[in-house]
Amino acid sequence: MTDIREQVREGGLFQGYAYGYPHKMAYRALSPAVPLREAWAEEPKDALFLYAHVPFCSVRCGFCNLFTVTGQGAAKNRVISYLDSLERQVETLQASLGTEARVARVAIGGGTPTFLTTSELGRLFDLLGSFQRTNADVPLAVEMSPDSVDAEKLALLRERGVTRASVGVQSFVEKDTRALGRPQKAADVERALTAMSDARFPVRNLDLIYGVEGQTWEDWQASLQAALRHEPEEIFLYPLYVRPLTGLGRKDKRPTDAREELYRRGRDFLLSEGYTQISMRLFRSAKHPGECDVHYCCQEDGMVGLGAGARSYTRALHYSKEWAVGRNSVQEILDHYSATQDHGLATYGATLDLGDQKRRYVIKSILRARGLELAAYKSMFQSAAMEDFPQLHMLTEHGAAVLTETHLQPTQLGLEWSDVIGPWLYSAQVKEAIAAFELR
């Protein structure tokens, strides 16, 4: 296996965001298709993550490769039929999961969920509310953009129990948002964030992007300082990736060469302001109230996805609808989803053998500051992580992790290397599938 330090030297810090494993580009048509009743029959269902995908935006930012459609006309005309199909999917999932299913965490993402009208959002919450929850304090997160929120929508979100409001600001510097292909005025951002603060969500998160073409440290620092004036409980710092078929990709734009410097200086700035680093991207304020429910474990518990772009996973099966980035392909998949009457089959995804289940557990653990809990891994798989993956010793040899009796824990250097370590740990089969994927 390639030495991790050599991989960093050859490719730099930004080689791939391993937010999940395996990546959707490793998914293929499932043959035969798997009935959901069968897929979930033997799974633990007492602490599920429920995710609802809303694939609509007012505009598509230049960096965005999410599964979404845009434009007030084309998107709005699809919302009602999409919610109708979502209702059918909810009914099917409830029958497939059975009465013992309980939800421990809920998130609504996109796209931009707050693109929906207040009444459409109310209908969406009604659908999600039909699932049983483990308790009344289940964390419920919603993503939004500054141009799509108003006092009425925010009041609805609070009334419906939203505990985390996440806003994609990206930058407070208009020069940088223009370079990102994002039509956004700083005054509108400030107005939206003030309204969000007035709504008193327990957790407010701001997403920022660094590495924009022409971005300087002074620009980046100005964004960070502007964000801190709102005292958010969480801040995500995302490095800019320019991906195929996005607006920036079509224009052959590139991130600034200063991404490494901007990451380090941004990290150090937030640490000096009292934030704690949770992962390469996530920083948490000391004012954060803590998780409302500790029963869900992302390495072990299942996810139930609702909507055209959501994915679901059991221990051995990850599945979703097909994924695309190009406008026509996204609309085609979305229209097929909206016309679907029976959502009872998993038709597209990936199966995970025991080796990939172990690999996923390690990747989901080692990229967070808490690290890999060795006893939990052994309890899950009846084997030792450091023996199953001897290449992990390279991390300790290069100062990227510390091995104790209880954990393999990333150092500051290890968190910095996250976008190298994730892809470095992918199996050969997953790498081959990703390389062969035809993006459309």
Q: What is the spatial distance between Cα 165 and Cα 138, in angstroms, rounded to a whole number?
A: 14
pLDDT confidence tier of residue 290, bands split at 50, 70 and 90: low
Query: 407 pLDDT exceeds 50?
Result: yes
Q: What is the pLDDT of residues 346-390, one digit of tens each?
A: 999 999 999 999 999 999 999 999 999 999 999 999 999 999 999
Other Cβ atoms less than 10 A from the Cβ of 188: the count is 12
pLDDT of residue 287: 81
Q: What is the pLDDT of residues 183-241, one digit of tens each?
A: 899 999 999 999 999 999 999 999 999 999 999 999 999 999 999 999 999 999 999 99
**Which class for 260: exposed (0-12), middle (13-18), buried (19 or more C-beta within 10 A)?**
middle
pLDDT of residue 340: 97
pLDDT of residue 293: 42
Helix (H, G, I), strand (E, B) or coil at 236: strand
- Does an H or E element contain 70, and which? strand 69-70
pLDDT of residue 159: 95
- Say which range, 69-73, 155-159, 308-312, has the weakest mean pLDDT: 69-73
Q: Mean pLDDT, to the nearest integer, of 287-292?
A: 66
pLDDT of residue 162: 95
Q: H/E/C letters for each residue in 141-199?
A: EEEECHHHCCHHHHHHHHHCCCCEEEEEEECCCHHHHHHCCCCCCHHHHHHHHHHHHHC
Query: 291 pLDDT exceeds 70?
Result: no
- How far, in Å, are 55, 103, 115 from residue 161 at the CA level? 22, 14, 19
Q: What is the spatial distance between Cα 70 and Cα 112, in angstroms, rounded to a whole number?
A: 10
Q: What is the spatial distance between Cα 263 and Cα 400, in angstroms, rounded to a whole number?
A: 17
Query: Using an 8 Å Cβ cutoff, are 377 and 370 in contact?
Result: no
pLDDT of residue 129: 87
In sequence order, the 6+-apart residues with CB closer than 8 A to the CB of 416 are 13, 263, 264, 280
Q: Mean pLDDT, to the nearest integer, of 269-283?
A: 97
**Which class for 156: exposed (0-12), middle (13-18), buried (19 or more C-beta within 10 A)?**
middle
Q: What is the spatial distance between Cα 317 and Cα 40, in angstroms, rounded to a whole number?
A: 9
HSE-up (13 A, CA, CB side) for residue 285:
17
Task: Give the residue ranges of DSSP H helices in 255-348.
Answer: 259-272, 327-339
Q: What is the spatial distance between Cα 360 and Cα 427, in angstroms, rounded to a whole number?
A: 10
Query: Using an 8 Å Cβ cutoff, are 49 and 298 in contact?
Result: yes
| Domains of the chain and any CATH numbers | 21-284 (3.80.30.20), 353-433 (1.10.10.920)
pLDDT of residue 143: 97
Q: What is the pLDDT of residues 25-64, one digit of tens each?
A: 999 999 999 999 999 999 999 889 999 999 999 999 999 9
Rounded to 10 degrees, what is the CA torsion of 133, 134, 135, 139?
Answer: -70
pLDDT of residue 131: 77
Long-range pairs for 33-36 at CB < 8 Å and ≥24 separation? 33/345, 33/346, 33/347, 34/317, 34/319, 34/345, 34/346, 35/96, 35/344, 35/345, 35/346, 36/92, 36/93, 36/96, 36/97, 36/343, 36/344, 36/345, 36/346
Query: Using an 8 Å Cβ cutoff, are 423 and 1 in contact?
Result: no
Task: Say how many Å lie between the first and final Cα of the chain, rounded.
Answer: 31
Q: What is the pLDDT of residues 124-181, one digit of tens each?
A: 999 998 876 666 678 999 999 999 999 999 999 999 999 999 999 999 999 999 999 9
Q: Is the peptide bond before 390 cis (omega within 30 degrees of 0)?
A: no
State the average pLDDT for the chain: 94
pLDDT of residue 229: 97
Phi first, then psi, for residue 105 (nearest 5°) are -155, 145
Query: Using an 8 Å Cβ cutoff, are 247 and 301 in contact?
Result: no
Q: Which residue has the tokens 């209908």?
A: 123
Query: Using an 8 Å Cβ cutoff, are 343 and 382 in contact?
Result: no
Pairing between strand 372-373 and 345-351? unpaired
HSE-up (13 A, CA, CB side) for residue 50:
27
pLDDT confidence tier of residue 297, bands split at 50, 70 and 90: low
Q: Mean pLDDT, to the nearest integer, of 285-290?
A: 80
Q: What is the spatial distance between Cα 17 and Cα 19, in angstroms, rounded to a whole number?
A: 6
Closest CA to 320 of 95, 51, 113, 109: 51
